[in-house]
Amino acid sequence: MVSLLYKWLLAFILLNNTTKEPAPGNIHPIFVSVTEIEHNAAAKTLEVSCKIFTDDFEKTLRRHYPSKIDLLNEKLTAPMGVLVNDYIQKHFSLKVDGRNVTLQFLGFEQQEEGIVSYFHAAEIVAVKKMLVFNNLLYEYSNQQMGIVHATVNGKRKSTRLNNPEASAVFQFVE
């Protein structure tokens, strides 16, 4: 997934010929989250992961929660998990075939420069149409974008949501 993030970032930079300087205090000139959604037909589940740059995510969480925010401190994993779950549940949701999907938070981990959070949805027998709502970190930067990949029956579909665009529809009808 990390190499996929790099490919998307490189493609975006090359396609947009970005020559802008990063905003003061920012380490990177791009604001992106990458979400992977995979339907596991055998287990009848959806498996979801969201990757967000650690520094951007921490700054956003600090704006929303009065707690000490340190996603990399292992001693704070449990309380940070509560905040990660709360924030993502408020800014990311799914509907499958017209029904809201309940995402169960499984945890999060650091992967290189990002935080990856994991979710699971049970009793998803089939997926014909998936509506994705994703405005992760949109309040942090008006340049924020969300890359969303959805895989159903081995068919992968992807889209890019640019702030303020927050919804995408994937059709998997055969």
pLDDT of the residue at 173 = 83
Give the pLDDT mean for 136-151.
96
pLDDT > 70 in the chain, percent: 83
pLDDT of the residue at 17 = 37
Residue 151 domain-assigned (yes or no)? yes
Residue 139 domain-assigned (yes or no)? yes
Q: Is residue 11 classed as helix, strand or coil in its secondary structure?
A: helix
pLDDT of the residue at 11 = 43
Rg for the chain, CA atoms, rounded? 16
Residue 4 domain-assigned (yes or no)? no
Token couple for 42: 């055998």
Give the pLDDT mean for 28-49.
93
pTM score, whole prediction: 0.82
pLDDT of the residue at 2 = 46
Domain carrying residue 84: 38-171
pLDDT of the residue at 174 = 66
Residue 28 domain-assigned (yes or no)? no
Distance between CA 151 and CA 169 in Å, rounded?
13
> For the segment 53-107, what is each residue's pLDDT rounded down to a tens digit?
999 999 999 999 999 999 999 999 999 999 999 999 999 999 999 999 999 999 9
Distance between CA 79 and CA 104 in Å, rounded?
16
Residue 8 domain-assigned (yes or no)? no
Distance between CA 3 and CA 29 in Å, rounded?
18
The number of domains in the chain is 1
Mean pLDDT of the chain: 88
Residue 143 domain-assigned (yes or no)? yes
Residue 31 domain-assigned (yes or no)? no
pLDDT of the residue at 21 = 38
Q: Which of 143, 142, 150 is nearest to 170 (CA)?
A: 150
Residue 33 domain-assigned (yes or no)? no
> For the segment 100-134, what is each residue's pLDDT rounded down to a tens digit?
999 999 999 999 899 999 999 999 999 999 999 99
Q: Which helix (H) or strand (E) holds 54?
A: helix 54-64
For the cut 70, the answer to whether the pLDDT of residue 144 exceeds it is yes
